[in-house]
Structure 1
């Protein structure tokens, strides 16, 4: 049957099916003659860049943003290459037959566009083992290539992967019946050089998909998370592509109206379906029992509130008072630090309303963090806080990094430390959803793995208990307030300082006196990673490695 259908000719049902399949396997005319980077939107490029650099990639995405469509190009390029160039079989597992067929049709389209020698899409019966050991035949789809490799769309059952090897794509993973076992089966393919890509929208905070993302962000699993919300995709040009496909004229007003309509359609489900926020995400992030298990009675909390009118004291008197406080309260603790362990600190800044909390740490040989003390300052002037921080830094053995809250007024102290210590030793952190989503899982992992410790203190317990899931992101809610034992309000300040300490402990700043100059290294421009959208954190490798056109 030709690509053109004569309206006067009787068309049999099976002929029409074949015709429609052929049309689905053609690259849209608007992309004819264009290279792969021109065809893919930015989030699709970033996903392919991640799969080139990591053996395990997970993408939590909005509905219908074209992630699977873009991955079809990756599948064809992978299966079309020779083994010596990194080619391998591609094994796709959706949770129903329609998804499998749609993916294979997409791959067929890419295969024709790239023009590698390949077969037509084939339907075949795949034999797998049943629950009781019996053999059973199920429908599957495949495309074979001259390279000797193939793309196969398999059943969603974990046993479908037994005896197989290659690049596994688990689509809408959160909705598979046995997601945990499926992931275990897929991970086995990594042993012999395979790759695993997990694609899904969210299906609840306790779903194995969300747990996998948390594990990667916490550093418990090697891998990469690529996040793309509906608004991310719009920003990258999704609606322009829709207009191109439907023949509509694009305009900002038209896009805004279309976006509003999509959100209205999803209603209460928009957070999970479009914004990548798992449902049922409320309540405290860290259980009380987990926090108290990491509290040690020997760790002191030093609290100091400046005397009334202290900000107006003459400068020499203020300086003398700070020197006395440091010598009396901090010097004995700092002198007692292990001189062989690397040191650093995190600070959450506050001036009048909130506390300033400084959380020093030392890295033990087993990479756990020792907390020598926690310092809380209330209503302490900017300059005096700077003097205290400089005093602590100067007495930390093998100092290598500090992470300071540079949000709002904290920018003053963070910048002063950068200028004093050297840019490679300081991270100026603008606290944001982007920062929390990447770093709070690492704080939680520190508690779970017994790599982090706190003073045994009720106010600090309340601060850490105040971390909650807010629209899928672990943070201290803006309106979360507790009353401290001193009668003054708190806003999770110690918890933020602890999270900044964990962040600082993972940075690669050098040590003062070990041949460093204080000049900023390219690898230490850490704060810049957190000034933009999440998508900017994904490595942007050269797509030319993918293109075999």
Structure 2
């Protein structure tokens, strides 16, 4: 017996022409449990075969168990493993075809196995929970969304973790009501401590998928050829392309936040404050605007801020608007029971940049134990986010350039805050309406581009309170910049306003 390469020392990254970046990321992720929601036909199962061979082929490795939803998948996977064993120069036996005894079915099931001289093996199993009994090592559930009893399979697979095992769950989507999609959503919401990889068709193309196709077919790559190939594949899938290629579960349209969910976390004692001025306000002198704003803050904001308990930490979220939409500022304070209550919500309508800064600084300066905030830094909002960062520090102010990837990751966590009753918000019809404006757009929760802003009391709204709440929760979960002393600009303005 001779093993010419020890796979423990084998660096997949040196095989730049073999594995694409998303494939390398999957292999390099050593999480005990990891999920992949993926496009079809991007070489993901082939990648898992490589990882299993590297694991089973070394002396200090482990057995690997593969579960697909049909016999053809099992056979193809084991033959992929045999090919990788040869590539890695690992001593392995021939692919074995054998009968696996399923006690629950009371029958033998034909399946496949490959043994390594390391003493470990890779075995394909049936997609029944009973097949996992007594196993140790790594288990891979492939195209998991299509398994008849995925909850049972996952429950059985998790037992392997007790002995240092690993679980890999890989699938394209099979509808937004599938158990697989529910697991994905729970991971995004932070309810399950699993690693999550998302690889859509265009992501794979961008990282070299079509170049790999050209290499295999001995064809020359070109940008035009790549576009034509991509369009051809998409056209072949037709109406199923969104789910099969672009990782969007079917029937994923509709309101993201049920009204009852938001209402269950509403507190009628929380006020919504509106600071609104006519367009001519911007033409007043700077001192006149400062004094007007200071008066409004002193009358409306300071009593609420000073009434807040002093011993508990605070965070803040903000969505920016100048003339077309509102700016909404949403602070929250942590309680002993880890419930985050908004003491108030501030809406700014047609307020100049400098007075928005003045209001924001007044709020933050007086929040007890201010830990950090996330501010909308898109477009004109970049000004307010930047001056806040300069004043309070980059460790405490996140300047968020919101994108689909941000919404995809952040909204499930924010929604989970309502589901778990971790947040208290104003009982206010427009606060609710803003959250009802959030829709699933190609699998991404956000305010749709086609959404027509709602005008109330001459003010145009565009889901602003929902985005401010999202930013707040992002700050709660990601920012703990610490407490520092700083001069209160708003206090100085209050003390000198009599001279204006």
Place the TM-score, normalised by the shorter chain, in its bin: over 0.9
Within the candidate set 73, 96, 99, 2:70 is matched to 96
Alignment partner of 1:230 is 2:207: no
| Uncovered stretches (5+) of structure 1, i.e. residues with no partner | 1-32, 516-549
In the other structure, the counterpart of 1:416 is 387
Within the candidate set 26, 35, 44, 1:47 is matched to 26
Task: Give 1:29-428 correspondences, 5 Å limit.
Answer: 35-50=14-29, 52=30, 54-83=31-60, 87-130=61-104, 135-428=106-399
- 8 A contact 1:363–1:505 mirrored in 2: no
**Quick one: distance in 1 between partners of 2:388 and 2:278?**
25
In the other structure, the counterpart of 1:545 is none
SS in 2 for 1:489: strand
**Quick one: distance in 2 between partners of 1:445 and 1:394?**
29
* 1:208, distance to aligned residue in structure 2 (A): 1.1
Residues 38 and 387 from structure 1, CA distance in 2 versus in 1: closer, same or farther, beyond 3 angstroms? same
Q: After the TM superposition, which segments of 4 or more aligned residues of structure 1 sit over 3 Å from their partners?
A: 33-38, 481-485
In the other structure, the counterpart of 1:27 is none
Residue deviations 1:171-201 (CA, integer Å, cap 9, x gap): 1111111222222222222222211111111
**Quick one: distance in 2 between partners of 1:366 and 1:112?**
57
Residue deviations 1:244-266 (CA, integer Å, cap 9, x gap): 11111111111111111111111
* 1:37, distance to aligned residue in structure 2 (A): 4.1
- 8 A contact 1:481–1:490 mirrored in 2: no
- 8 A contact 1:459–1:484 mirrored in 2: no
Q: TM-score scaled by structure 1?
A: 0.84
SS in 1 for 2:252: coil
**Quick one: distance in 2 between partners of 1:417 and 1:254?**
48
Q: TM-score scaled by structure 2?
A: 0.92
* 1:482, distance to aligned residue in structure 2 (A): 5.3
**Quick one: distance in 2 between partners of 1:363 and 1:439?**
19
SS in 1 for 2:409: helix
Residue deviations 1:523-544 (CA, integer Å, cap 9, x gap): xxxxxxxxxxxxxxxxxxxxxx
* 1:284, distance to aligned residue in structure 2 (A): 0.8
**Quick one: distance in 2 between partners of 1:81 and 1:359?**
54
**Quick one: distance in 2 between partners of 1:510 and 1:256?**
45
- 8 A contact 2:317–2:468 mirrored in 1: yes
SS in 2 for 1:322: helix
Please report the RMSD computed on the Cα atoms of aligned residues, expressed in angstroms.
1.7
Residues 372 and 243 from structure 1, CA distance in 2 versus in 1: closer, same or farther, beyond 3 angstroms? same
Aligned residues: 475
**Quick one: distance in 1 between partners of 2:13 and 2:188?**
36
Residue deviations 1:296-339 (CA, integer Å, cap 9, x gap): 11111111212441101100010011111111111111112222
SS in 2 for 1:377: strand
* 1:206, distance to aligned residue in structure 2 (A): 1.0
- 8 A contact 1:326–1:388 mirrored in 2: yes
**Quick one: distance in 1 between partners of 2:402 and 2:172?**
26
- 8 A contact 1:37–1:45 mirrored in 2: no
- 8 A contact 1:480–1:492 mirrored in 2: no
